[in-house]
């Protein structure tokens, strides 16, 4: 059972999330909070597996709350917001968030996102993956003020380490770099989803990458997005 803490300053939004997650047998909403201060306190008390975190809230915003929760290793954080804005994406990643999803995502994507983050994988909504890559990889991408913090959060090791990967793992890495989910990679490469999940875990381990967010940046930084022949 995956425990979830809901954080949003709108009670109606929290109720909607609770209703969606309550339909899943493996997800359990263990608490709610209406601002960042209460979120940190609740995370300390409940130690949930995942915190669904709003960004703009009174008293303390979601970015600072995420930073404190991650710093104390209380939970993994999935940031949700209505604001499709680069600044929120990079601030959330720099604060240590494991995922970023827009609130207009459908119920299935929300549930999948919670499970993905709970499993220890990073996640970005498809709408923001391309911009993250462009900002992180392009010269001068994040701007002088934000670049250091963001690079610390998502930059992979300098050594590529591609020789550690099998040919199939290399193919999976390229698909991850395109922002595809495990199910989409499975369909693309004609593999079982469980097999893809194993390959992704192996890739992250062999390349010493924290999560899929780092893998996306890794692929584009080293020019692997076009899928060169690993042989």
Range 2-129 has CATH code 3.40.50.2300: yes
Q: Where are the domains of the chain?
A: 2-129, 156-221
CB 132 within 8 A of CB 183: no
More confident residue, 225 or 2: 2
In this predicted structure, what is the pLDDT of residue 6?
96
Q: Could you give the C-alpha distances from 171 to 119, 134, 191, 198, in angstroms and in order? A: 22, 21, 12, 13
Q: What is the pTM of this model?
A: 0.66
Residues 6+ apart with CB under 8 A from 198: none
Name the residue among 117, 126, 75 with its Cα closest to residue 99: 117
Name the residue among 49, 55, 34, 214 with its Cα closest to residue 129: 214
pLDDT digits (tens, 9 = 90+) for 47-106: 999 999 998 898 999 999 999 999 998 999 999 877 666 667 777 777 888 888 888 888
Cα(21)–Cα(150) distance, integer angstroms? 31
Q: Is the pLDDT of residue 150 over 50?
A: no
pLDDT digits (tens, 9 = 90+) for 161-220: 888 899 999 999 988 887 777 888 999 999 999 999 999 989 988 988 877 777 777 787
With tokens 């963001």, the residue in question is 150
Cα(107)–Cα(69) distance, integer angstroms? 25
pLDDT band at 158 (very low <50, low <70, confident <90, very high): very low
pLDDT digits (tens, 9 = 90+) for 26-36: 999 999 999 99
In this predicted structure, what is the pLDDT of residue 226?
65
Range 156-221 has CATH code 1.10.10.10: yes
pLDDT band at 155 (very low <50, low <70, confident <90, very high): very low
CB 117 within 8 A of CB 99: yes
């Amino acid at each position: 059972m995956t425990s979830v803490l809901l954080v949003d300053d709108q009670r109606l939004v929290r109720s909607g999330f609770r209703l969606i997650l309550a339909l899943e047998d493996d997800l359990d909403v263990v608490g709610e909070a209406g601002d960042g201060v209460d979120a940190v306190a609740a995370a300390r008390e409940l130690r949930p597996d995942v915190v669904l975190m709003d960004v703009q809230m009174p008293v303390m915003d979601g970015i600072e709350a995420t930073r404190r929760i991650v710093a104390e290793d209380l939970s993994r954080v999935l940031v949700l917001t209505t604001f499709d804005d680069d600044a929120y994406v990079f601030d959330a990643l720099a604060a240590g968030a494991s995922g970023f999803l827009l609130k207009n995502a459908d119920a299935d994507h929300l549930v999948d996102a919670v499970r993905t983050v709970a499993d220890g994988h990073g996640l970005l909504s498809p709408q923001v993956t391309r911009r993250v890559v462009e900002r992180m990889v392009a010269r001068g991408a994040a701007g002088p003020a934000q670049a250091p913090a963001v690079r610390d959060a998502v930059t992979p090791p300098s050594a590529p380490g591609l020789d550690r990967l099998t040919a199939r793992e290399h193919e999976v890495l390229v698909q991850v770099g395109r922002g595809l989910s495990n199910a989409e990679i499975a369909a693309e490469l004609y593999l079982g989803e469980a097999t893809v999940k194993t390959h992704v875990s192996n890739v992250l381990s062999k390349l010493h990458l924290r999560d899929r967010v780092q893998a996306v940046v890794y692929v584009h930084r080293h020019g692997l997005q076009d899928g060169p022949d690993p042989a």
